[in-house]
């Protein structure tokens, strides 16, 4: 029993440690929506497969705070994104901009799809087409049929 | 003959994957190279009433080394930075990043202080402006006030001798 109480106490008292939730007050709902959207779309640079919203890294916390402050000051979404990109490069964006250096990234899948479609179409066409008989063979066949018909007519 | 196409695709994949192995995804190229060093005004670690701002080194080649007492790889880097400082080529400014000044001072007492001075970036705001995402990071500024080079992660002997010192020597020879 004593053991159980200790265990329960351990869990209840340690709760605040992992439940450190950031509380932000927003001017209006639109700002809040922008904030939530931005932290989903900005990458955490320390843990690279997480966005700012999902990361517990110190830097992610700071960048969330920065995003919040900028939005509260009335800065637009684009201004916040520009701010991050001038400091950390396009890498912070989960949705990189379309420009010459990212063309391969954006167009690559479609180019591959296109190539695959063409290959598939060629294959299908090849198996479907029944080769047209050559003129010489066709004539020969017609003659044979005609002969056959004549012969059967003669027999009657 | 019918194995030629799969074999070719396999070959291309091997080359691409081999290239991928030589890249380090942890190293994000800084968009700040070639740009003006971002301004900040922060208190000096050993003289909190005095400020430091990158403008102080206008017209000079200098180094900004981001460190912190809580940073483990900074300890490994420390002896390399000390070696660089002993060459007396340029001023090295430390940016004590998100660190309590007392801890920072103790760290420098313990290991030695290679820095001309250190600035305290308690909140990490200057760090964000400089695009710092890990500690240590090292920036080299030219006489024109532009960032010439950024080294991400601890500077080792090889990087110091092969990249940083040659670059510093060329930068020092440039007319101001």
pLDDT tens digits, residue range B138-161? 999 999 999 999 999 999 999 999
Q: Nearest to residue B142, comparing CAs of B173, B96, B118?
A: B173
pLDDT of residue B166: 96
Q: Flag the least confident range among A13-27, A105-119, B44-58, B120-134.
A: A13-27
CB–CB of B176/B50 below 8 Å? no
- Regions of chain B with pLDDT less than 50: none
pLDDT (0 to 100) of residue B57? 94
Chain-chain contact of B28 with A45 (C-beta, under 8 angstroms): yes
Distance from CA of B31 to the nearest CA of A (A): 5
Q: Which of A45, A66, A86 sits opposite B133 (nearest CB)?
A: A45
Mutate to test the interface with B, among A84, A88, A90, A102 (most CBs of B within 10 A): A88
**B28, A91: Cβ pair inside 8 Å?**
yes
CB contact under 8 A, B131 and A58: no
pLDDT band at A55 (very low <50, low <70, confident <90, very high): confident
For residue A153, the model assigns a pLDDT of 59
C-alpha distances in Å from residue A142, one per residue of A133, A134, A139, A154: 12, 12, 5, 18
Q: CA B137 to CA B131: how far, in whole Å?
A: 10
* CA dist B132 → A106, B16, B175 (Å): 28, 30, 29
DSSP 3-state helix, strand, coil percentages of chain B (rounded to 5)?
40, 20, 40
Instruction: For residue B122, give the chain A residue with the closest CA.
Output: A62
Q: Give the least confident one: A20-29, A70-79, B90-99, B135-144.
A: A20-29
Stretch among A103-112, A121-130, B151-160 having the lowest mean pLDDT: A121-130
Q: Could you please report the per-residue DSSP string of B50-77?
A: SEE-GGGGTTS-EEEEEE-TT-HHHHHH
Of the listed ranges A7-16, A81-90, A142-151, the least confidently predicted one is: A7-16
Look at residue B150 in the predicted model and tell me its pLDDT.
95
Q: And the tokens for A132?
A: 């047209």
Beta bridge partners of B63: B92, B140
Whether residue B124 lies within 8 A of chain A, CB to CB, comes out as yes
Phi then psi for residue A50, to 5 deg, are -120, 155
Rounded Cα distance between A22 and A30, Å, is: 19
Q: Which of A46, A62, A91 sits opposite B124 (nearest CB)?
A: A62
Average pLDDT score over residue span A29-57: 88
Residue B91 confidence (pLDDT): 96
**pLDDT for A155:** 54
Which residues of A sit within 8 Å Cβ distance of B?
Answer: 45-46, 48, 58-59, 62-63, 66, 85-91
Instruction: Please report residues of B whose CB lies closer than 8 A to that of A59.
Output: 124, 133
Among candidate residues B75, B87, B67, the one with its CA nearest the CA of residue B160: B87
- Could you give the CA distance from residue B174 to residue B169 in angstroms, rounded to a whole number? 9
User: So what's the pLDDT on residue A134?
Assistant: 81
Q: Which residue of A has its CA nearest to B129?
A: A87
pLDDT at A14: 65
Query: What pLDDT, on the 0 to 100 scale, is given for residue A151?
Result: 75
What is the rounded average pLDDT of the residues A49-77? 90
Residue B133 with chain A: CB contacts under 8 Å: 45-46, 59, 88
Mean pLDDT for A112-126 is: 92
Average pLDDT on A86-115 reads: 89
């Amino acid at each position: 029993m004593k053991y159980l109480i200790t265990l329960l106490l351990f869990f209840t008292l340690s709760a605040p440690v992992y439940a450190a939730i950031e509380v932000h007050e927003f001017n209006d709902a639109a700002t809040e929506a922008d904030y939530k959207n931005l932290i989903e779309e900005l990458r955490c640079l320390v843990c690279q497969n997480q966005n700012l919203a999902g990361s517990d890294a110190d830097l992610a916390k700071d960048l969330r705070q920065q995003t919040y402050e900028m939005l509260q000051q009335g800065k637009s979404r684009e201004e916040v994104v520009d701010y991050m990109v001038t400091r950390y490069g396009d890498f912070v964006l989960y949705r990189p901009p379309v420009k010459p250096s990212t063309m391969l990234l954006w167009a690559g899948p479609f180019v591959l799809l296109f190539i695959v479609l063409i290959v598939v179409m060629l294959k299908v066409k090849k198996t479907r087409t029944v080769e047209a008989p050559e003129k010489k063979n066709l004539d020969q066949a017609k003659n044979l049929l005609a002969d056959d018909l004549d012969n059967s007519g003669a027999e009657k | 003959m019918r194995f030629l196409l799969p074999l070719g695709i396999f070959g291309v994949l091997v080359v691409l994957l081999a290239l991928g192995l030589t890249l380090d995804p942890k190293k994000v190229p800084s968009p700040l190279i070639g740009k003006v060093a971002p301004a900040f005004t922060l208190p000096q670690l050993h003289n909190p009433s005095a400020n430091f701002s990158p403008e102080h080194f206008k017209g000079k080649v200098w180094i900004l080394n981001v460190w912190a007492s809580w940073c483990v790889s900074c300890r490994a880097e420390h002896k390399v930075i000390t070696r660089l400082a002993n060459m007396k080529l340029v001023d090295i400014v430390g940016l004590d990043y998100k660190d309590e000044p007392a801890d920072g001072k103790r760290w420098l007492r313990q290991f030695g202080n290679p820095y001309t001075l250190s600035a305290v970036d308690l909140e990490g705001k200057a760090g964000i402006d400089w695009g710092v995402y890990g500690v240590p990071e090292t920036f080299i500024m030219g006489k024109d006030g532009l960032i010439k080079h950024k080294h991400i992660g601890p500077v080792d002997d090889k990087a110091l001798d092969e990249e940083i010192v040659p670059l510093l020597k060329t930068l020092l020879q440039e007319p101001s």
